[in-house]
Amino acid sequence: MPEPKHPDEPGQTDGADLSNSQRKAYWSKNRRLIGVLLTIWALVSYGFAILIPMDFEVGRLPANFWWAQQGAMFVFVILIFVYAWRMDAIDREFDVHEEGE
């Protein structure tokens, strides 16, 4: 366990006590997660709803129409919560989570 830092000491409250390689590793994990989630984001909205023709139905609605007016929005909500939840774990792994959180 690292010593608790005094909040007024510059450079330490903002996680600057990370080594450079850890900083890079943290950032690339974050970016990879963002990449995966934004791929899904683009797939459901631009892919399923607009670009990829589908001739089956979801319930009793044409699939493209359902994705455009219902499905994509459900997925958007889930993506944000998944990001927040996964980032909690990554923050703790690199010990950059906020005090009291």
Partner 1 sequence: MDLSVTELWTLAFVILTFGAYLYIGYTNRVRDTKGFFVAGQGVPPVFNGMATAADWMSAASFISMAGLISFMGYDGAVYLMGWTGGYVLLALLLAPYLRKFGKFTVPDFVGDRYYSQTARIVAAICAVFVSLTYVAGQMRGVGVVFSRFLGVSITGGVLIGMTVVAFFAVLGGMKGITWTQVAQYSVLIVAFLIPSVAISQKLTGNPIPQLSFTFSDITAKLNQIQVDLGFTEYTAPFQNKTQLDVLCITLALMVGTAGLPHVIVRFYTVPSVRAARYSAGWALLFIALLYTTAPALAAFARYNLIDSLHETPIEEARSMEWVSSWEATGLLGLDDKNGDGRLQLSPNAELNEIQIDRDIIVLSTPEVAGLAPWVIALVAAGGLAAALSTAAGLMLVISSSLSHDIYAKLIHPGASERERLFVGRVMIFLAVCVAGYFGIHPPGFVAEVVAFAFGLAAASFFPVILLGIFDKRTNREGAIAGMLVGIGFTSFYIIGNRFFGMDAFLFGISAQGIGTVGMLLNLVTTLVVSRWTPAPPLEVQEMVESVRVPRGAGEASAH
- Contacts with partner 1, residue ranges (CB under 8 A): 7, 13-16, 18, 23, 26-27, 30-31, 34, 37-38, 41, 45-46, 49-51, 58-62, 64-66, 68-70, 72-74, 76-77, 79-81, 83-84, 87-88, 91, 96-101
Contact indicator for 83, 98 with CB cutoff of 8 Å: no
Burial class of residue 23, CB neighbours in 10 A (0-12, 13-18, 19+): middle
> Alpha-carbon distance 44 to 76, whole Å?
9
Identity of the residue numbered 25: A
Give the nearest distance from C-beta 72 to partner 1 in angstroms.
Answer: 5
Q: Which is nearer to partner 1, 46 or 56 (CB)?
A: 46
Give the nearest distance from C-beta 60 to partner 1 in angstroms.
Answer: 6
Contacts of 94 (CB under 8 A, 6+ apart): 18, 22, 25, 26
Give the nearest distance from C-beta 1 to partner 1 in angstroms.
Answer: 15
Q: Which is nearer to partner 1, 1 or 84 (CB)?
A: 84
